[in-house]
Each structure stands twice: as structure tokens, then as C-alpha cells.
Amino acid sequence: MPKAYVYDRFGGPEVEHFTDLPQPVPGPGQLLIAVRAAGVNPVDWKRRSGRRPAGAPVVELPAVMGGEAAGEVVALGPGTTGFAVGDAVLGGPLTGGYAQYTLLPAAATVRKPPEVSWTDAAALPIAAATGYGAVRQLGLPEGATLLVTGAGGGVGVAAAQVAVGLGLTVVGAAAPAKREFTESLGVRFVASGPGLTARVRAAAPDGVDGVLDLVGGEVLREVAEMLKDRTKLVSGADREAVAALGGAPVGPVRDPAILGAVVELVRTGALDPRVTRVVPFEQAAQAVRAVEGGHSQGKTVLEMPPLD
């Protein structure tokens, strides 16, 4: 049977393991794909630990990890149209991405152009789409200054490039070890940690016009004080806190229009998802640990072995 990387109870890394699962059967409006690559995101280990945002569906155990997948269509559910067997596609899986086969909702799936690699495609449905959607949500005018916290991660990488492409000045906060990487995105680097506000003010003497928070907690509360207009505060890390501060969480990104726009930016070379670590599927644990440790830069992607 096909292999998948799952957790069968909530907890730490010890609850993760490989298992054999029956090949999923696509229902109406669904696509069965043979996974070629799967993105690794912080939300993967957060869900495994039992965290569930308000309104999120209950996780049924055992659960396959992974919210991003790219692969080839091998079957269509009843009445599903718009795709054909053999199509190269990417999207947010219904049955987890860390698996040899998974299901995608056809309505939120887009085709992968030949110019986009499998590993880059797998970095787009959550990370890049969130970064793109957040910048568009803020709606800052050309010439405005945007602060991005957590700028060295997968979402920050996309957001910074999209913002720079729109003519914004971007100040990116990240760990000191990520300075060179963050600056390569075309942003003004500031080190994260105590005293962040003072460093941001030094980098942007005229202040910031918007904030994209990808850290949450005390960092979010600190940088919120820099904004006169809290409607220009969005967070992809702390929904409850940002709402209490007068801002908003990043809106839904499971939108084929957003994902399609991101894919086109990658296809044309306007956006590089910066996949810095490609890990074989059999080393899924190491990939999750790298992201869970918070020290990875760019994007980590699992690469699936060829199917028999």
C-alpha cells in the first residue's frame, strides 16, 4: 500500500511515524494525485501538537501531515471537470501532503506550468499564497513602507518579493543569522529580538505604513504600536491577538485566483519561493524538525520517490 507520514495522537515529534494507508478514493469535485513534492510548514507541527484555530475543523486521527502538494492527476471523482488524468497540478490537499497519493479539491487546484519545478510548486499553496494574499490585503500604495516580521521564512520570503515588486519599501525582521538571506530579497534587514522597535525606527526614520506579522505574541503587540492606522496591521501567526489590536488576520488563501497569480509570478521569474532545503520523503522527520526548530530559512520541501 502507499506510504504516508502521519500522527495518530496529539503531541510532540514522538507521535509522528510512517505507515501504509489505502490509496484515497476521489469523491465528487476531487482529484487523486500521485504526489511529487510536498511543502513543509510550521502549521504542520502545530496541528500535530493539537493546536486548532477557532473555527477550524476537528482533526480526525490518524492524520497525514502536510498542507501543500504538487503532483500528477491519476483519477477524477464523479462529475469532476476541468482536469484530466496526467495533468500536473498543485493545491492544498484534503488528505495530507506527506503521502504518495492524496486528494485535492478541484475547485481550489491549479495547473503547474512546465517552467515551474515540482519542488517550487509544492512551496506555493500555503506559504507563497499567504505572502501574496497578505500584501494584497494591506493594499499599501507604491512608495509606502512595510514591516515584515519573520521575513526569513517561507511566507515572509514571498511577501517581501511581492511587496518589493509593487514598489514598496520593505523592512524585514529576522534572526541575525538570516541577515544575508533576508537582504537578498531586496529588503532592509533588522535583527529580531529585544529592542526591535528601535531598530525598525532606525531603518525607517519616517515610520512604517503597514505591518505584516508572521511571529505573533509579544512581537506582534510591540510592532502594532508603530502604526497609526491599525487597519494596516495583518497577522498570519496570531488571529486572536491581531483582532484585539485592531488589525486583521490574513484572509483565506485557498483561492485558485490567488494561487494562479502566484504560479504566474513564479513562471515568469518575478517570484522565487526560495526552496532552500529539499529532503527525501523517507527523511520527513528531519524536515519537520528543521522547520519546527525555527532556524530554517526559506522553504523546506519533501521530494517523493518515483512510484512503481
User: What pLDDT does 57 receive?
Assistant: 78
Lowest-confidence region among 14-23, 55-64, 154-163, 220-229: 55-64
Query: Which is nearest to 241 in space by CA: 102, 22, 54?
Result: 54
Mean residue pLDDT across the chain? 94
The neighbouring-strand residues paired with 174 are 191
Asked if the model's pLDDT at residue 123 lies above 90, the reply is yes
User: What's the whole-number mean pLDDT along residues 97-118?
Assistant: 97
> Is residue 262 a contact partner of residue 241, using CB atoms and an 8 Å limit?
no
Q: For residue range 195-231, what is the model confidence (pLDDT) as tens digits?
A: 999 999 999 999 999 999 999 999 999 999 999 999 9
Identify the helix (H) or strand (E) that includes residue 285.
Answer: helix 284-292
pTM for the structure as a whole: 0.91
